[in-house]
Amino acid sequence: MNSLNRPRGSKWVIGLLDFIVIAISYVFAYGLSFQMYASIIEFYSFLNHILWISVMCILTYQFFNLYTYSGRISYSKYYYNLVIAHVMIAFEWMLLKFGFQELNIPLSTVLIALILQLSFMIGVRSILFRLVSQDLIKKKALIIVKNSKLSNGIIQKVLTKGEKWFDVRGVIQTETELLKVTTEAFQDIELFIISPEVDTGLKVDLLCLAGKEGKEVLLIPEYNDLLMMAAEPQQIDDMLVYSIPSPHLSKLQKTMKRVLDLVISAILLICTSPIFLLMTIIIPLSSHGKAFFSQERIGEGEKPFKMLKFRSMVDNAEKHTGPVLATERDARITKLGAFIRATRIDELPQLINVIRGEMSVVGPRPERAFFTQAFSEELPHYTYRFMVKPGITGMAQVMGNYSTLPSDKLRYDLLYIKDYSLLLDLKILFQTILVVLHREQSKGIAIEETKAKGKIARYINSNANVFISKE
């Protein structure tokens, strides 16, 4: 269960353990419901369907990322996901009972089983986390970066979000400091956190030292590293080469994705039509201006289109400021707007963009030309995002939050394009439910950045004698 060297097939072992837990939950549920005198017909129905019941539950766990039991994750968020997954399983049970009359299991038994299943799962996962945590003790860490804007973002993230796992002993900026990699120099350091901008030679030296001395390395990937993950080993005579596919979807994938988009957007438009009607009425009543708001965004092939939203800000919010990203307590956001932004109701009109073919349900979020130009100058790989349709939700949205750096969002977008499948789209849609329910991910950027900068200043002042460069 070592998080640093997790055995292959461990997910299958946990899946098998989950299958046993699910089966035990239903056996106990029958015992509690009928004092072990259940109808033979009902119990045989359970035995005949336990495999499919377990598969349904395990797939739901997978959609909610519940097999990421190792690594530096928030346990509270994990258990939150576990609870929401069981709520989803309850809805799936309703559909099963409606669609399969031969599934002769009383709903009271199902309810007891789900409560037991959730309780047992929390217990099992707690044991797993305890085993994993033995390898995730707080480690003496060294951050190695270049003297750039990206470096500040990395330092901010580690100091503000990683204090549970990292005892940061210093920050080395390789553009201003000569770094000689020796065992003596880093004897007390247990973990290196390396920026993607650090020179390749230095990375190799650090990786060699870490491998030799049993130290851990957290390497933030370069964009080329993400593309290499899809590489196929080939041979030219006896010479090994890697074939790196172009990061775009095949015609078959585009066709299947379009069908899924039309089906999902049509269903959602029908289901949310009362919300559309309500917003159309109350938004103009709550503040001056129209209910709908359209804004030019850049889509597939860098073609502009008009993206629709419910208006959450005052009318003509950028009349005097020009293009500006929203902050956490942005004065331009109306009271109703704060609610519909937090619940993502403001994004619902983009279903119309999906029907038109301008957007997909899942994909990289579309940006305005002003920002795409700025990001493209800073991040050369940014143009890869335009090889697929932009989406209402995406991997960057479910894995990050509003304040996630553009460079990190780009990594998730490239990973999505590289690993694209219909199953991945469905998984992201399931995870989007968590984003909607977890308001923390929809916060703005200003306050988080201010806190981070303050912490960096305090850190440098109190640790200036340890590896710190003040330049």
Per DSSP, the residues of 331-342 read TTB-HHHHHHHH
Cα–Cα nearest to 407, from 67, 152, 165: 152
Kindly state whether residues 39 and 122 are assigned to the same domain. Answer: yes
Phi then psi for residue 357, to 5 deg, are 90, 10
Kindly state whether residues 113 and 165 are assigned to the same domain. Answer: no
Encoding tokens for residue 369?
């030309």
In 220-339, which ranges are E strands? 232-236, 239-243, 292-298, 304-310
Pairing of the two strands 239-243 and 232-236: antiparallel
Name the band, by pLDDT with cuts 50, 70 and 90, for residue 359: very high
Choose the most confident range, by mean pLDDT, from 76-85, 108-117, 225-234: 108-117
The structural domain count of the chain equals 3
CA 67 – CA 57 distance, rounded (Å)? 12
Tens digits of residue pLDDT in 360-407? 999 999 999 888 888 888 887 888 889 899 999 999 888 877 667 788
Enter the pTM of the model.
0.73
**Can you give the pLDDT at residue 122?**
92
Name the band, by pLDDT with cuts 50, 70 and 90, for residue 1: very low
Task: Say which residue, 104 or 370, is predicted with more confidence.
Answer: 370
**Can you give the pLDDT at residue 12?**
82
In this predicted structure, the answer to whether residue 33 has a pLDDT above a threshold of 50 is: yes
Kindly state whether residues 432 and 455 are assigned to the same domain. Answer: no
CA 325 – CA 322 distance, rounded (Å)? 10
In this predicted structure, the answer to whether residue 469 has a pLDDT above a threshold of 50 is: no
Kindly write down the DSSP assignment for every residue of 396-448, as one continuous string.
Answer: HHHHS-TTS-HHHHHHHHHHHHHT--HHHHHHHHHHHHHHHH-GGGG--SHHH
In this predicted structure, the answer to whether residue 333 has a pLDDT above a threshold of 70 is: yes
**Can you give the pLDDT at residue 455?**
53
Residue 151 within any structural domain of the chain: yes
Name the band, by pLDDT with cuts 50, 70 and 90, for residue 329: low
* Contact indicator for 450, 262 with CB cutoff of 8 Å: no
In this predicted structure, which of 168-182, 205-219, 258-272 has the lowest mean pLDDT? 168-182
* Contact indicator for 310, 279 with CB cutoff of 8 Å: yes
Kindly state whether residues 94 and 73 are assigned to the same domain. Answer: yes
Kindly state whether residues 259 and 406 are assigned to the same domain. Answer: yes
Task: Say which residue, 60 or 135, is predicted with more confidence.
Answer: 60
Residue 84 within any structural domain of the chain: yes
CATH of residue 455: 3.40.50
Task: Say which residue, 337 or 471, is predicted with more confidence.
Answer: 337
Kindly state whether residues 155 and 268 are assigned to the same domain. Answer: no
Name the band, by pLDDT with cuts 50, 70 and 90, for residue 447: very low
Kindly state whether residues 83 and 98 are assigned to the same domain. Answer: yes
Kindly state whether residues 211 and 322 are assigned to the same domain. Answer: no
CA 125 – CA 77 distance, rounded (Å)? 13
Kindly state whether residues 123 and 169 are assigned to the same domain. Answer: no
- Structural domain of 268: 251-437
CA 358 – CA 395 distance, rounded (Å)? 19
Residue 2 within any structural domain of the chain: no
Give me the helices (H) in 35-148, please: 40-63, 75-99, 107-133
**Can you give the pLDDT at residue 98?**
74
CA distances from 33 to 91, 105, 106, 314 (A): 21, 11, 9, 56
**Can you give the pLDDT at residue 440?**
56
In this predicted structure, which of 254-268, 307-321, 413-427 has the lowest mean pLDDT? 307-321
**Can you give the pLDDT at residue 43?**
63
CA 327 – CA 332 distance, rounded (Å)? 10
In this predicted structure, the answer to whether residue 466 has a pLDDT above a threshold of 50 is: no
Choose the most confident range, by mean pLDDT, from 85-99, 263-277, 318-332: 263-277
In this predicted structure, the answer to whether residue 297 has a pLDDT above a threshold of 90 is: yes
170 sits in which H/E element: strand 166-173
In this predicted structure, the answer to whether residue 348 has a pLDDT above a threshold of 90 is: yes
Cα–Cα nearest to 74, from 197, 162, 169, 195: 162
Encoding tokens for residue 76?
């509270």
Name the band, by pLDDT with cuts 50, 70 and 90, for residue 30: confident
Kindly state whether residues 73 and 179 are assigned to the same domain. Answer: no
Q: Any idea of the CA torsion for 99, 104, 107, 109, to the nearest 10 degrees?
A: -140
Kindly write down the DSSP assignment for every residue of 278-303, as one continuous string.
Answer: HHHHHHHHHSSS-SEEEEEEE-GGG-
CA distances from 146 to 195, 202, 467 (A): 7, 12, 14
Angle, CA 12 vertex, CA 247 and CA 230 arms, to 5° = 15
CA 105 – CA 36 distance, rounded (Å)? 14
